[in-house]
Protein backbone atom coordinates (compact mmCIF):
# COMPACT_ATOMS: atom_id res chain seq x y z
CA UNK A 1 0.00 0.00 0.00
CA UNK A 2 1.38 3.41 -0.91
CA UNK A 3 2.00 6.02 1.74
CA UNK A 4 -0.83 8.23 0.51
CA UNK A 5 -3.17 5.25 0.32
CA UNK A 6 -2.34 4.37 3.93
CA UNK A 7 -3.21 7.88 5.12
CA UNK A 8 -6.36 7.87 2.99
CA UNK A 9 -7.29 4.57 4.59
CA UNK A 10 -6.86 6.06 8.10
CA UNK A 11 -9.01 9.06 7.30
CA UNK A 12 -11.62 6.87 5.64
CA UNK A 13 -11.77 4.68 8.76
CA UNK A 14 -12.34 7.72 10.98
CA UNK A 15 -15.39 8.77 9.02
CA UNK A 16 -16.88 5.49 7.87
CA UNK A 17 -19.18 5.33 10.92
CA UNK A 18 -20.51 8.80 10.24
CA UNK A 19 -20.79 9.50 6.55
CA UNK A 20 -20.38 7.77 3.24
CA UNK A 21 -16.84 8.63 2.23
CA UNK A 22 -15.27 7.29 -0.91
CA UNK A 23 -11.69 6.24 -0.23
CA UNK A 24 -10.65 7.18 -3.80
CA UNK A 25 -11.92 10.67 -3.11
CA UNK A 26 -9.84 10.90 0.08
CA UNK A 27 -6.77 9.71 -1.74
CA UNK A 28 -7.26 12.16 -4.56
CA UNK A 29 -7.58 15.09 -2.18
CA UNK A 30 -4.42 14.08 -0.36
CA UNK A 31 -2.50 13.55 -3.60
CA UNK A 32 -3.48 16.95 -4.93
CA UNK A 33 -2.30 18.72 -1.78
CA UNK A 34 0.94 16.77 -1.45
CA UNK A 35 1.97 16.52 -5.10
CA UNK A 36 0.62 19.69 -6.62
CA UNK A 37 0.72 22.10 -3.70
CA UNK A 38 3.73 20.53 -1.96
CA UNK A 39 1.88 20.53 1.36
CA UNK A 40 3.52 18.30 4.00
CA UNK A 41 1.56 15.09 4.63
CA UNK A 42 0.68 16.10 8.24
CA UNK A 43 -0.92 19.28 7.06
CA UNK A 44 -2.60 17.61 4.10
CA UNK A 45 -4.16 15.06 6.47
CA UNK A 46 -5.42 17.83 8.73
CA UNK A 47 -6.85 19.77 5.83
CA UNK A 48 -8.60 16.77 4.28
CA UNK A 49 -9.91 15.70 7.71
CA UNK A 50 -11.30 19.19 8.24
CA UNK A 51 -13.02 19.00 4.87
CA UNK A 52 -14.87 15.84 5.87
CA UNK A 53 -15.62 17.14 9.36
CA UNK A 54 -17.36 20.09 7.78
CA UNK A 55 -19.18 17.89 5.29
CA UNK A 56 -20.39 15.59 8.07
CA UNK A 57 -21.18 18.47 10.44
CA UNK A 58 -18.94 16.90 13.07
CA UNK A 59 -16.42 18.23 15.56
CA UNK A 60 -12.90 16.89 15.69
CA UNK A 61 -13.70 15.33 19.06
CA UNK A 62 -16.44 13.22 17.49
CA UNK A 63 -14.11 11.13 15.38
CA UNK A 64 -11.52 8.69 16.54
CA UNK A 65 -7.92 9.53 15.82
CA UNK A 66 -7.16 6.03 14.69
CA UNK A 67 -4.08 4.68 16.41
CA UNK A 68 -3.34 6.42 19.66
CA UNK A 69 0.08 5.88 21.16
CA UNK A 70 1.14 5.49 24.77
CA UNK A 71 2.78 8.74 25.86
CA UNK A 72 3.95 10.63 28.92
CA UNK A 73 2.96 14.20 29.71
CA UNK A 74 6.35 15.65 28.80
CA UNK A 75 5.99 14.03 25.34
CA UNK A 76 3.13 16.36 24.51
CA UNK A 77 4.54 19.00 22.20
CA UNK A 78 2.13 18.95 19.28
CA UNK A 79 -1.57 19.63 18.92
CA UNK A 80 -3.97 17.07 17.48
CA UNK A 81 -2.02 13.98 18.43
CA UNK A 82 -3.98 10.99 19.69
CA UNK A 83 -2.37 9.47 22.74
CA UNK A 84 -2.89 7.19 25.75
CA UNK A 85 -1.91 8.55 29.16
CA UNK A 86 -1.64 7.03 32.60
CA UNK A 87 -2.12 9.92 34.96
CA UNK A 88 -3.36 11.09 38.32
CA UNK A 89 -6.01 13.77 38.72
CA UNK A 90 -4.23 16.40 40.81
CA UNK A 91 -7.08 18.86 40.99
CA UNK A 92 -10.42 19.67 39.46
CA UNK A 93 -11.46 23.21 38.59
CA UNK A 94 -14.92 24.64 38.05
CA UNK A 95 -15.84 24.40 34.38
CA UNK A 96 -16.57 27.83 32.92
CA UNK A 97 -18.80 26.52 30.18
CA UNK A 98 -21.77 24.15 29.98
CA UNK A 99 -20.08 22.26 27.15
CA UNK A 100 -17.37 21.12 29.59
CA UNK A 101 -18.16 18.34 32.08
CA UNK A 102 -14.83 18.43 33.93
CA UNK A 103 -11.64 20.44 33.73
CA UNK A 104 -8.52 20.12 35.82
CA UNK A 105 -4.93 19.08 36.08
CA UNK A 106 -3.41 15.68 35.34
CA UNK A 107 0.04 14.59 36.49
CA UNK A 108 2.47 11.76 35.82
CA UNK A 109 6.15 11.33 36.77
CA UNK A 110 7.18 13.63 33.92
CA UNK A 111 4.98 16.63 34.68
CA UNK A 112 1.47 18.04 34.66
CA UNK A 113 -1.03 19.03 31.99
CA UNK A 114 -4.50 20.54 31.85
CA UNK A 115 -7.36 18.34 30.73
CA UNK A 116 -10.86 19.06 29.50
CA UNK A 117 -13.67 16.53 29.36
CA UNK A 118 -16.55 17.45 27.08
CA UNK A 119 -20.07 17.24 28.48
CA UNK A 120 -21.39 15.50 25.39
CA UNK A 121 -18.73 12.78 25.65
CA UNK A 122 -20.79 11.30 28.52
CA UNK A 123 -17.74 9.77 30.17
CA UNK A 124 -17.63 8.71 33.83
CA UNK A 125 -16.55 11.36 36.33
CA UNK A 126 -12.89 11.54 37.29
CA UNK A 127 -12.14 11.90 41.00
CA UNK A 128 -9.46 14.09 42.50
CA UNK A 129 -6.55 11.88 43.54
CA UNK A 130 -7.65 9.03 41.26
CA UNK A 131 -5.20 7.34 38.89
CA UNK A 132 -6.51 6.47 35.44
CA UNK A 133 -5.53 4.97 32.18
CA UNK A 134 -6.93 7.34 29.57
CA UNK A 135 -6.94 5.87 26.09
CA UNK A 136 -7.55 7.93 22.99
CA UNK A 137 -7.24 11.49 24.24
CA UNK A 138 -6.32 14.24 21.83
CA UNK A 139 -3.73 16.93 22.48
CA UNK A 140 -4.45 20.60 22.00
CA UNK A 141 -2.44 23.78 22.13
CA UNK A 142 -3.42 27.32 23.01
CA UNK A 143 -0.85 30.12 23.01
CA UNK A 144 2.02 27.75 23.51
CA UNK A 145 0.39 25.78 26.32
CA UNK A 146 -0.69 22.20 25.82
CA UNK A 147 -3.69 20.33 27.12
CA UNK A 148 -5.50 17.09 26.45
CA UNK A 149 -9.16 16.64 25.60
CA UNK A 150 -11.22 13.66 26.68
CA UNK A 151 -13.84 12.98 24.02
CA UNK A 152 -16.54 10.50 23.11
CA UNK A 153 -13.96 8.00 21.82
CA UNK A 154 -11.89 8.11 25.03
CA UNK A 155 -11.77 4.98 27.19
CA UNK A 156 -11.26 5.57 30.91
CA UNK A 157 -10.03 2.86 33.24
CA UNK A 158 -9.46 3.54 36.91
CA UNK A 159 -6.25 1.95 38.22
CA UNK A 160 -5.75 0.69 41.75
CA UNK A 161 -2.31 2.22 42.18
CA UNK A 162 -0.68 5.51 43.01
CA UNK A 163 1.79 7.28 40.80
CA UNK A 164 4.30 9.93 41.64
CA UNK A 165 3.74 13.28 40.03
CA UNK A 166 6.74 15.15 38.72
CA UNK A 167 7.25 18.84 39.12
CA UNK A 168 7.68 20.71 35.96
CA UNK A 169 9.50 23.93 36.41
CA UNK A 170 8.73 26.82 34.16
CA UNK A 171 10.66 29.91 33.41
CA UNK A 172 8.89 33.15 32.61
CA UNK A 173 10.72 36.20 31.41
CA UNK A 174 8.91 39.45 30.87
CA UNK A 175 7.28 42.54 32.27
CA UNK A 176 5.24 42.33 35.43
CA UNK A 177 2.18 44.09 34.08
CA UNK A 178 -0.41 43.67 36.81
CA UNK A 179 -0.90 42.78 40.44
CA UNK A 180 -4.15 41.01 41.23
CA UNK A 181 -6.58 41.36 44.13
CA UNK A 182 -5.59 39.42 47.20
CA UNK A 183 -2.02 40.65 47.02
CA UNK A 184 -0.04 42.48 49.71
CA UNK A 185 -0.78 42.11 53.41
CA UNK A 186 -3.46 39.43 53.68
CA UNK A 187 -5.02 37.43 56.49
CA UNK A 188 -5.30 33.67 56.46
CA UNK A 189 -7.58 31.33 58.37
CA UNK A 190 -5.72 29.91 61.39
CA UNK A 191 -7.66 26.61 61.41
CA UNK A 192 -5.43 23.60 60.93
CA UNK A 193 -4.77 22.74 57.27
CA UNK A 194 -7.05 25.56 56.12
CA UNK A 195 -4.90 28.65 55.42
CA UNK A 196 -7.64 30.09 53.18
CA UNK A 197 -7.34 33.80 52.56
CA UNK A 198 -9.99 35.68 54.52
CA UNK A 199 -12.46 37.99 52.82
CA UNK A 200 -13.57 40.74 55.22
CA UNK A 201 -12.41 38.66 58.18
CA UNK A 202 -14.33 35.57 57.09
CA UNK A 203 -13.10 32.16 55.95
CA UNK A 204 -15.23 30.48 53.32
CA UNK A 205 -15.15 27.27 55.33
CA UNK A 206 -14.88 28.39 58.98
CA UNK A 207 -16.74 31.71 59.05
CA UNK A 208 -15.50 34.61 61.14
CA UNK A 209 -12.05 33.89 62.55
CA UNK A 210 -9.06 35.72 64.00
CA UNK A 211 -6.83 35.72 60.92
CA UNK A 212 -3.08 35.48 60.74
CA UNK A 213 -1.16 38.01 58.69
CA UNK A 214 0.76 36.88 55.63
CA UNK A 215 2.37 38.50 52.63
CA UNK A 216 1.91 37.40 49.07
CA UNK A 217 1.72 38.71 45.53
CA UNK A 218 -0.41 37.40 42.70
CA UNK A 219 1.07 38.95 39.61
CA UNK A 220 0.64 38.81 35.86
CA UNK A 221 3.85 38.60 33.87
CA UNK A 222 3.71 39.19 30.14
CA UNK A 223 6.47 37.53 28.12
CA UNK A 224 5.39 39.23 24.90
CA UNK A 225 3.37 36.24 23.70
CA UNK A 226 1.37 35.16 26.67
CA UNK A 227 0.36 36.37 30.12
CA UNK A 228 1.43 34.13 33.02
CA UNK A 229 0.02 34.22 36.53
CA UNK A 230 2.77 34.13 39.12
CA UNK A 231 2.43 33.73 42.88
CA UNK A 232 5.06 35.03 45.28
CA UNK A 233 4.77 33.56 48.78
CA UNK A 234 5.92 35.44 51.88
CA UNK A 235 9.62 34.71 51.39
CA UNK A 236 9.55 35.50 47.70
CA UNK A 237 7.59 38.70 48.36
CA UNK A 238 10.02 39.84 51.05
CA UNK A 239 12.92 39.20 48.75
CA UNK A 240 11.29 40.88 45.76
CA UNK A 241 10.19 44.02 47.59
CA UNK A 242 12.68 44.26 50.43
CA UNK A 243 9.66 44.69 52.68
CA UNK A 244 9.36 42.25 55.60
CA UNK A 245 6.08 40.99 57.04
CA UNK A 246 6.81 42.90 60.26
CA UNK A 247 7.43 46.15 58.37
CA UNK A 248 4.29 45.59 56.33
CA UNK A 249 2.24 45.14 59.52
CA UNK A 250 3.68 48.34 61.00
CA UNK A 251 2.98 50.20 57.80
CA UNK A 252 -0.65 49.04 57.85
CA UNK A 253 -1.02 49.89 61.53
CA UNK A 254 0.32 53.42 61.05
CA UNK A 255 -2.08 54.00 58.17
CA UNK A 256 -4.94 52.09 59.84
CA UNK A 257 -5.33 50.45 56.46
CA UNK A 258 -3.87 47.21 55.10
CA UNK A 259 -4.32 48.17 51.45
CA UNK A 260 -1.45 50.64 51.75
CA UNK A 261 0.94 47.67 51.59
CA UNK A 262 -0.42 46.46 48.24
CA UNK A 263 -0.30 50.03 46.90
CA UNK A 264 3.32 50.37 47.95
CA UNK A 265 4.28 47.03 46.41
CA UNK A 266 2.44 47.77 43.17
CA UNK A 267 4.34 51.04 42.82
CA UNK A 268 7.56 49.14 43.27
CA UNK A 269 7.12 46.20 40.90
CA UNK A 270 4.58 46.90 38.15
CA UNK A 271 6.41 47.71 34.92
CA UNK A 272 9.60 45.95 35.96
CA UNK A 273 11.13 43.09 33.96
CA UNK A 274 11.85 39.81 35.70
CA UNK A 275 13.06 36.32 35.01
CA UNK A 276 11.05 34.01 37.25
CA UNK A 277 11.57 30.31 37.73
CA UNK A 278 9.52 27.85 39.73
CA UNK A 279 7.16 24.89 39.73
CA UNK A 280 3.80 25.20 38.01
CA UNK A 281 0.74 24.54 40.08
CA UNK A 282 -2.42 24.58 38.08
CA UNK A 283 -2.36 27.76 36.09
CA UNK A 284 0.12 29.43 38.43
CA UNK A 285 3.88 29.59 38.44
CA UNK A 286 5.17 29.65 42.00
CA UNK A 287 8.10 32.06 42.09
CA UNK A 288 11.11 30.24 43.50
CA UNK A 289 13.92 32.06 41.87
CA UNK A 290 13.51 35.66 40.77
CA UNK A 291 15.93 37.90 38.98
CA UNK A 292 15.28 41.51 38.08
CA UNK A 293 16.23 42.32 34.51
CA UNK A 294 17.35 45.67 33.24
CA UNK A 295 14.56 45.83 30.71
CA UNK A 296 12.77 48.98 29.63
CA UNK A 297 10.82 49.89 32.74
CA UNK A 298 9.14 53.03 31.54
CA UNK A 299 6.70 52.46 28.66
CA UNK A 300 6.73 56.16 27.80
CA UNK A 301 10.50 56.17 27.52
CA UNK A 302 10.27 53.15 25.24
CA UNK A 303 7.81 54.93 23.03
CA UNK A 304 9.99 58.01 22.73
CA UNK A 305 12.94 55.81 21.87
CA UNK A 306 10.91 53.96 19.25
CA UNK A 307 9.80 57.20 17.62
CA UNK A 308 13.35 58.54 17.39
CA UNK A 309 14.58 55.46 15.53
ZN1 LIG B 1 -10.73 28.29 57.34
Kindly list the protein residues that place their beta carbon closer than 5 angstroms to ligand 1, a single-atom ion: 189, 191, 194, 196, 203, 205-206
Question: 187 C-alpha to center of ligand 1: Å?
Answer: 11
pLDDT at residue 68 in the model? 75
Task: Report the distance separating Cα 83 and Cα 103, nearest Å.
Answer: 18
pLDDT at residue 1 in the model? 54
Please say if the pLDDT value at position 29 is more than 90.
yes
Question: 265 C-alpha to center of ligand 1: Å?
Answer: 26
Quote the longest CA-to-CA distance of the chain.
81
- Top CATH class of 171-184+215-292 equals mainly beta
Q: What is the CATH number of domain 69-166?
A: 2.40.50.140
More confident residue, 262 or 20: 262
Cite the residue boundaries of each domain of the chain with CATH code 2.40.50.140: 69-166, 171-184+215-292
pLDDT tens by residue, 160-180: 999 988 776 788 999 999 999
Question: 169 C-alpha to center of ligand 1: Å?
Answer: 29
At residue 110 the predicted structure's pLDDT band, cuts being 50, 70 and 90, is confident
Amino acid sequence: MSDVRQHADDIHAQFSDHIDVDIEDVEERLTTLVDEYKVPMDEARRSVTNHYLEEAGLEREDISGGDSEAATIEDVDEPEEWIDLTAKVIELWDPRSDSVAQVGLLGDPTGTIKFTKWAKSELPALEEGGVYELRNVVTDEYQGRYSVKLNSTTVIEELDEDIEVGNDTSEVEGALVDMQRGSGLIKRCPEEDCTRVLQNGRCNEHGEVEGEFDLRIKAVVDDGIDAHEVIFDKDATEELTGLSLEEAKEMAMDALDTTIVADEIREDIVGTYYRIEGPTFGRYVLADDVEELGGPADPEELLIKARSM
